[in-house]
Amino acid sequence: MSAVFLARLQFAFTIMFHYLFPPLTVGLGVILVIVEWLYLKTGDSLYRETARFWVKIFGLIFALGVATGLVMEFEFGTNWSHYSRFVGDIFGSALAAEGIFAFFLEGGFLAILLFGWDKVSPRIHFLAALLVAAGAHFSAVWIVVANSWQQTPAGYRLIGTGPAQRAQITSFWQVVFNPSSMSRIAHVYMGAWQAGAFLVMSVSAYYLLKNRHVRFAQTSMKIALSVAAVASILQLVTGDSGARVAASLQPAKLAAFEGHFPKSAPAPLYLFGWVNSARETVRGVSIPRGLSLILYGDPNRPVTGLDAFPVNERPPVNLVFQSFHLMVAIGFALIALAFAGLFFWWRGSLFNHPPLLMLYVPSVLLPELANELGWFSAEAGRQPYIVYHLLRTAQGVSPNVSAGEIAASLALFAAVYALLFALFVFLMNEKIQHGPGPEAPEAREPAGRLA
Amino acid sequence: MSYEFLRVVWYALLGILLTGYAVLDGFDLGVGALHLFARGDENRRILLNAIGPVWDGNEVWLVAGGGAMFAAFPEVYAAVFSGFYLVFILLLFGLIFRAAAIEFRGRLPQSWWRRSWDASFSASSILSSFLIGVAFGNVIYGIPLNAAHQFSGSFFSLFSPYPALMGITTVALFAMHGSIFVILKTEGDLHANAREWGRNCLIFFILCYVVLTMATLLYVPHMAAPFRTHPYLFAIPAVGLLFIANIPREIFHGRDFSAFVSSCLAIVFLMGLVGIGLYPCMVYSNPGPQNSLTLFNSASSPATLTVMLIVAAIGIPLVVSYTAGVYWIFRGKVRLDPHSY
């Protein structure tokens, strides 16, 4: 296998593993702010217990997010040194802003959130929750801005030629507000809110089914369900505006999303299907002219298809098609799940529907999967470029790192991450089985454990 | 501001961020190195909780330093990170295992679980300190760079004697720094033990430091050149040595906080020594010094450096003030409570 392929594989593996965690902390951060605010308003100790439990969960997820996130910052340099030279000047200011404003904010106030319960007043603790959540949201901005700049570059000029070519910043604000960054940040935020909210719903539904910690679970469920419903509906809006940006600035990517080949023709909207890239056909169920209709509000307006691009300028169509469609399907499933809950809540019988609760228990997997698929379709859809139309992925790698070295590091990452993941799942389960309340072991646990 | 001035400012700011990292994460890496010397679960929990609220924030200085290097000196970031490929991958695993150990250890009560994480915490702290030192040693000693500023050596060439010596010295320095932090944060028997660790670590560090200094003068003459041309710069190592000498004095008088401040300042002066010795180089090329990366041939554009400087001018005072706030809230001797690790 070539060094380029291995470097891509390693990046995809490490980023997808990393991306299991930050969306959960961003979304959980929002819920923590709501719970702590309710505690401040009402003084009801139930909210305090609720916040304490979710802070513990937050801490565990956050630790894994930090540990796997540092890898990402290093990996730009270790595996993609040419890319780093090319984009360093652009990413510089955004990166500095986020590092200073976001990471320090999170790292500093997390200490108060985790360990400050008895050391600061509830008001300060609420402030810490607010600032940690804000920090989590800020840190998403930088990475999405940088990634969006790779999709739709703006505010730069190219200097030098050949391997010495670099992108140089001409306008900081054009880089930050490049054409796709705002809709993509909103899309990432809503995906994260869904992940956090459905995590809380999953755990709460489990307790309700087991008839344990019922008041705690009911409180958590109501708060999370509200967040989930808002985020799921807004996600439809952000996804739609993202697709329009792609249609105008990255037509090859949009065409791959829908498997649309004709150079310029009204396009159908596939519900599901299978793309044969060689024969340029899609088999599946579609709404005729549906894509033209939702993109432009006009069923007869043509959409640029993949045939408008030479074969070596096209992304891997079927992979992009499948990941995109699965993500969209999950998006609609999440809306259905959230609104089914709202409906029964309105009827006053939310907690009396075991089948719905049973659906909720594994539901956190859906937004997690959708977030991964969304990342995959965005990145694979940009191929063969690492910076759209400016730098090819194959040119971005470190020329002096051999395939053997990458294979070695990839094997190590696979082993270490498998272990980390197993430990994470195991400890999450331990914490969930233990439930909210004091840390002292409960009577039903086996004897012989240390305190 | 002129471009030249901006680049010098960013060289200094990068130095400040890395110094902040060495001073702050230095003590918690050092506590990790000493972790296994503490006996019994409770003592080990006290050590973990001494660094518990702050280690994560301390590590952010590395993230910020790496980010500033990417942003202000992309050529250096690209050359160093791709050149030190496996060293940095190993460092990442060290830091990952460290985070996992701190976070996971207290979550189960069984002794096999806790002992395994104790060993992992200590080993990963020592490994991380060593590799940070090795990377630093290579930057100082010089690595082979070609005309395109790409590393052209091999993985094993990175572990030549000088960088390895720098790695060991870094372990010793952080262990000394960490032991003083433990003295500051503990009481009773553990405090008495920590005073002993502090003495041993100080002796270990001074031995390493003497050997390293001789090796630098003999084998790395370019580091000494600025001091030869500007003899008044010798004040920096001299003051650094005075701070090191002051540490046992403060400990003897029971002024633990002053001892810790002395240790912090000693690290600041040691980093200053490196920064001045290297200037204007950022990565020395050996052989072929003409291929060295300097702050003049590796920096970002004036526009980027200016925007970043504005960001830093607003952000760094904020960061320093609330970091100080967090340290203030968690001041005093460690007390274990239900929220502790």
Q: Is this prediction's ipTM beyond 0.90?
A: no
pLDDT given at position A448? 39
Question: Per the CB < 8 Å rule, is B150 touching A81?
Answer: yes
Structure confidence by residue, pLDDT tens digits, A193-205: 999 999 999 999 9
**Residue A65 near residue A18, CB atoms below 8 Å:** yes
Question: Per the CB < 8 Å rule, is B71 touching A77?
Answer: no
Residues 296-315 of B with CB under 8 A from A: 300-301, 303-305, 307-308, 311-312, 314-315
* CA nearest neighbour of B46 among B331, B337, B335: B335
pLDDT given at position A441? 40
Residue A105 has pLDDT above 90, yes or no: no
Structure confidence by residue, pLDDT tens digits, B37-57: 988 888 889 888 889 888 888
Question: Per the CB < 8 Å rule, is A92 touching B155?
Answer: no
Residue B5 has pLDDT above 80, yes or no: yes
Percent of chain A with pLDDT over 90: 36
Residue A451 has pLDDT above 50, yes or no: no
* CA nearest neighbour of A420 among A33, A15, A24, A68: A68
Range picked from A170-184, B118-132, B300-314 for highest mean pLDDT = B118-132
The answer to whether residue A287 neighbours chain B at the CB level (below 8 Å) is no
The answer to whether residue B152 neighbours chain A at the CB level (below 8 Å) is yes
Whole-Å CA distances, B7 to A84, A89, B13, B72: 19, 13, 10, 8
**Residue B158 near residue B84, CB atoms below 8 Å:** yes
pLDDT given at position A447? 38
- For chain A, the distance separating the N- and C-terminal CA atoms, rounded to the nearest angstrom, is 51
CA of A62 vs chain B CAs: smallest distance (Å)? 10
The answer to whether residue A421 neighbours chain B at the CB level (below 8 Å) is no
Q: List the single range of A64-78, A119-133, A433-447, B240-254 with lowest mean pLDDT.
A: A433-447
Q: Is B341 helix (H, G, I), strand (E, B) or coil?
A: coil
Contacts of B186-193 with C-beta under 8 Å, sequence gap 24+, read: B186/B46, B186/B50, B186/B333, B186/B334, B187/B333, B189/B43, B190/B38, B190/B43, B190/B46, B193/B37, B193/B38
Among the partner residues B81, B97, B314, nearest to A77 by beta-carbon distance: B81
A-B contacts (CB, under 8 Å)? 236
In chain B, residues with a C-beta closer than 8 Å to the C-beta of A100 are: 64, 311-312, 314-316, 318-319
Among the partner residues A91, A109, A114, nearest to B339 by beta-carbon distance: A114
- Total Cβ atoms within 10 A of residue A163: 11
Among the partner residues A74, A98, A450, nearest to B109 by beta-carbon distance: A450
Q: In DSSP terms, which residues pair with A157 in a beta bridge?
A: A168
Query: DSSP secondary structure string, A14-79?
Result: HHHHHTTSHHHHHHHHHHHHHHHHHHHHH--HHHHHHHHHHHHHHHHHHHHHHHHHHHHHHHHHHH
B7: left (phi over 0), alpha (psi -120 to 50) or beta: alpha
* Mean pLDDT (chain B, rounded): 89
Q: Which residue of B has its CA nearest to A450?
A: B109
**Residue A196 near residue A31, CB atoms below 8 Å:** yes
Percent of chain A with pLDDT over 70: 97
CA of A380 vs chain B CAs: smallest distance (Å)? 24
Q: Is B39 helix (H, G, I), strand (E, B) or coil?
A: coil
- For chain B, the distance separating the N- and C-terminal CA atoms, rounded to the nearest angstrom, is 48
Question: Per the CB < 8 Å rule, is B60 touching A431?
Answer: no
pLDDT given at position A118? 83
- Confidence bin at B82 (pLDDT 50/70/90): confident
Distance CA B84, CA B92 (A): 12
CA of A201 vs chain B CAs: smallest distance (Å)? 23
Distance CA A294, CA B16 (A): 53
List CB contacts of A100: < 8 A, sequence separation 6 or more: B64, B311, B312, B314, B315, B316, B318, B319
The b-or-e profile of B239-262 (16+ CB within 10 A means b, else e) is bbeebbebbeebbeeeebebbbbb
pLDDT given at position B268? 95
Average pLDDT over residues A138-152: 89
CA of B218 vs chain A CAs: smallest distance (Å)? 31
Q: Is B288 helix (H, G, I), strand (E, B) or coil?
A: coil
Query: How big, in percent rounded to 5, are the helix, strand and coil portions of chain B?
Result: 80, 5, 20
Question: Per the CB < 8 Å rule, is A108 touching B326?
Answer: yes
Whole-Å CA distances, A443 to A440, A447, A449, B110, B129: 9, 8, 11, 16, 43
Question: Per the CB < 8 Å rule, is B303 touching A172?
Answer: yes
- When scoring B24, B61, B103, B327 by the number of chain A Cβ atoms within 10 A, the one with the most, hence best to mutate, is B103
Among the partner residues B85, B86, B329, nearest to A116 by beta-carbon distance: B329
pLDDT given at position A443? 33
Residue where the block lists tokens 């046992």: B248
Q: List the single range of A5-14, A216-225, A283-292 with lowest mean pLDDT.
A: A283-292
Phi, psi of A271 (to 5 degrees): -80, -45
Distance CA B167, CA B162 (A): 9
Residue bearing the bigger pLDDT, A73 or A362: A362
The answer to whether residue A134 neighbours chain B at the CB level (below 8 Å) is no
Among the partner residues A78, A169, A430, nearest to B107 by beta-carbon distance: A430
Percent of chain B with pLDDT over 90: 42
Question: Per the CB < 8 Å rule, is A430 touching B108?
Answer: yes
CA of B280 vs chain A CAs: smallest distance (Å)? 20
Residue where the block lists tokens 């719905």: A356
Q: Which residue of B has its CA nearest to A407?
A: B86
**Residue B185 near residue B50, CB atoms below 8 Å:** yes
pLDDT given at position A439? 56
The answer to whether residue B151 neighbours chain A at the CB level (below 8 Å) is yes
Residue A257 has pLDDT above 90, yes or no: no
Output DSSP code: residue B256.
H
Question: Per the CB < 8 Å rule, is B77 touching A77?
Answer: yes
* Mean pLDDT (chain A, rounded): 87
Residues 63-102 of B with CB under 8 A from A: 63-64, 66-68, 70-75, 77-86, 88-89, 92-93, 95-97, 99-100, 102
Q: Which residue of A has its CA nearest to B148?
A: A164
Q: Which residue of B has its CA nearest to A113?
A: B53
Phi, psi of A284 (to 5 degrees): 165, -170
The answer to whether residue A5 neighbours chain B at the CB level (below 8 Å) is no
Structure confidence by residue, pLDDT tens digits, A392-434: 888 888 888 888 889 989 999 999 999 999 999 998 988 898 8
The pTM is what? Answer: 0.87
pLDDT given at position A279? 82
CA of A371 vs chain B CAs: smallest distance (Å)? 23
pLDDT given at position A438? 67
* CA nearest neighbour of A199 among A175, A228, A237, A176: A228
* CA nearest neighbour of A323 among A378, A282, A281, A365: A378
Residue A449 has pLDDT above 80, yes or no: no
